[in-house]
Amino acid sequence: MTTLGRLSRLTGNWIPAALARPFGAPTAVFFHGVEQQISDPALQVNQHRLDAFEDVARLLKRDFDVLPLSAMADVLSRPAKHARALFLMSDDGYANTLTTAAPVLKAYDLPWALFVSTHHIDTGEFTPPTLTRIFFLEAPRGAHDLPHFDTPVFLGARTQREAEAVEAWKHLKNMPAPHAIRVLEFMKTVLAKTGAGIKAKYESENFLTWDQVRALDRAGVEIGAHADSHWAMHQDQPQDFLREQALRPKLRIEKEIGHCRFFAYPFGQRGDIGRGAWEAVRDAGYQNAFTTIAGTLNASTNPWLLPRYGLAAEESNLAAFLPVLRANNPRLRTWQSQIGT
Ligand SMILES: [Zn+2]
């Protein structure tokens, strides 16, 4: 979490919810998946524990007007009229959003949107950060000469592997996608040889099928795009890669669901989105797109670079905390102007 995030969370916890509410502004928040229990926190970084997620749902219902994304245009045009408005979203498309998250959100009658990375729904492949973590945990002990890494990676004890995985991922995420894809292919080949039953062992990271995505659509969940492959759309990516990452998931989701109006950038921080990314998303015909940069929705001057807040593993006082996100609005606007807004 950023320093601002830590500070504002601290401040937020000191403000009683009833006091903070009148100073609110419309916000968007997101989660990834929900599991009954978290058995491996180093790997299941994207999963909420079910009872903590139920607490979040209860707070959202009590303290906010949780709206469907179809209300976004009205909220952006008249934010002052929607001070309690909140949009709830889930990224990636984990299978447990259907089995574990959806029943909770239905019980509280909370509308939500799901952003899927279509390549992963098509193939069932793990996301690149998940595959990287699994490789570093499961690959045989010894040296591995990963493509586009300056030196071989040595894998030994579990704690050392976890630390190496974090460093390797930082390097990998910033590579141009054609290079990074070669690294992932190398990892997949090594893992296939271990015969370790990886899919079953890391079940929480598995994806929905298209049948399941359609079931969520029929249940009223807005299906949006989270790029095609779950890669950063940073400024060093080739332009044709960015265009494909924006356009292919839209066409794929339209074919399965009938419409796809919204986009969420993978990772979604400043370094993960260049000018070419949001222009490709705009040109593909999306109504709005979401980052993971802190801010409130009234602040944005660019409808394809909207702010969003990632829900922490446990949240006790969202009504006090979320209005504090507006402290980051000036930085959001500065960044938007830096990348061409
Ligand atoms: Zn994601």
Please state, in angstroms and as integers, the Cα–Cα distance from residue 223 to each residue in 90, 113, 114, 206, 254, following that order: 10, 6, 5, 18, 10
Q: How many domains does the chain have?
A: 1
Instruction: Please give the distance, rounded to the nearest whole angstrom, from the Cα atom of residue 265 to the centre of ligand 1.
Output: 7
Provide the whole-model pTM. Answer: 0.92
pLDDT at 17: 52
The token duo for 245 is 């990452």
Instruction: Please give the distance, rounded to the nearest whole angstrom, from the Cα atom of residue 197 to the centre of ligand 1.
Output: 24
| Structural domain contains residue 61 | no
Instruction: Please give the distance, rounded to the nearest whole angstrom, from the Cα atom of residue 51 to the centre of ligand 1.
Output: 22
Instruction: Please give the distance, rounded to the nearest whole angstrom, from the Cα atom of residue 311 to the centre of ligand 1.
Output: 13
- Taking alpha carbons only, the member of 125, 132, 137, 128 closest to residue 194 is 137
| Structural domain contains residue 84 | no
The owner of tokens 């950023």 is: 2
The token duo for 15 is 């403000």
Instruction: Please give the distance, rounded to the nearest whole angstrom, from the Cα atom of residue 149 to the centre of ligand 1.
Output: 24
pLDDT at 91: 98
pLDDT in tens, 93-107: 999 999 999 999 999
Domain membership of residue 171 as a residue range: 128-201
Neighbour count for residue 159 (Cβ, 10 Å): 9
| Structural domain contains residue 86 | no
Residues 6+ apart with CB under 8 A from 52: 313, 314, 315
| Structural domain contains residue 19 | no
pLDDT at 273: 97
| Structural domain contains residue 270 | no
The token duo for 171 is 């390097």
Instruction: Please give the distance, rounded to the nearest whole angstrom, from the Cα atom of residue 94 to the centre of ligand 1.
Output: 10
Residues of the chain short of pLDDT 50, as ranges, are: 1, 3-4, 7, 10, 12
pLDDT at 7: 47
pLDDT at 1: 46
Rounded to whole angstroms, the Cα distance separating 247 from 255 reads: 13
Neighbour count for residue 252 (Cβ, 10 Å): 19
| Structural domain contains residue 145 | yes
Across 260-272, b (16+ Cβ under 10 Å) vs e yields bbbbbbbbbeeeb
Instruction: Please give the distance, rounded to the nearest whole angstrom, from the Cα atom of residue 159 to the centre of ligand 1.
Output: 25
| Structural domain contains residue 243 | no
Instruction: Please give the distance, rounded to the nearest whole angstrom, from the Cα atom of residue 258 to the centre of ligand 1.
Output: 23
Q: Hey, CA dihedral for 166, 172, 44, 161, is it positive or negative?
A: negative
| Structural domain contains residue 107 | no
